[in-house]
Structure 1
Amino acid sequence: MIDLVEDTRSTPLFRLGAQPIALTAVALFLLIAGVTSIAIWRAYTGSAPETDRVVASRQLQARTAQASEQLVEKTKGLEATQQESIDQLQVVQDQLQTVKRLLAAQQADTKRLSEQVASLNESIDGLRQSFASARATEAETPSVTRRKPARYRHASARKRSRG
Structure 2
Amino acid sequence: MIDLAEDTPSTPLLRLGAQPIALTAAALLLLIAGVTSIAIWRAYTGAAPETDRVVASRQLQVRAAQASEQLVEKTKGLEATQQESIDQLQVVQDQLQSMKKLLASQQADTKRLSDQVTSLNESIDGLRQSFASVRSTEADTPSVTPRKPARHRVHASARKRARG
Q: CA deviation at 1:37?
A: 2.2
- Where 2:46 maps in the other structure, the secondary structure is helix
Matches within 5 A, 1:93-108: 93-108=93-108
* Alignment match of 2:42 (pick from 38, 45, 53): 38
1:127 maps to 127
- The aligned length equals 151
1:115 maps to 115
- Tell me which amino acid in the other structure corresponds to 2:34: L
Tell me the percent identity: 61
- Normalising by structure 1, we get a TM-score of 0.78
- Normalising by structure 2, we get a TM-score of 0.77
Matches within 5 A, 1:39-78: 39-43=43-47, 46-47=48-49, 50-78=50-78
> What's the Cα RMSD here?
2.9
5+ unaligned residues in a row in structure 2: which ranges?
160-164
Shift in CA distance, 158/26, structure 1 to aligned 2, threshold 3 Å? closer
- Where 2:8 maps in the other structure, the secondary structure is helix
- Where 1:7 maps in the other structure, the secondary structure is coil
Task: After the TM superposition, list the runs of 4 or more consecutive aligned residues in structure 1 that deviate by more than 4 angstroms.
Answer: 1-4, 15-18
Shift in CA distance, 70/4, structure 1 to aligned 2, threshold 3 Å? farther
1:29 maps to 33
Shift in CA distance, 11/154, structure 1 to aligned 2, threshold 3 Å? closer
Q: CA deviation at 1:92?
A: 1.0
| CA distance in 2 between partners of 1:11 and 1:127 (Å) | 155
- Tell me which amino acid in the other structure corresponds to 1:24: L
Superimposed CA distance per residue, residues 19-67 of structure 1 (whole angstroms, 9 cap, x where no aligned partner): 1234312320232123212321334xx22xx323312221221121011
2:92 maps to 92
Q: CA deviation at 1:147?
A: 7.6
Shift in CA distance, 142/31, structure 1 to aligned 2, threshold 3 Å? same
Shift in CA distance, 147/93, structure 1 to aligned 2, threshold 3 Å? same
Question: Does 2:16 align with 1:14?
Answer: yes
| CA distance in 2 between partners of 1:147 and 1:140 (Å) | 17
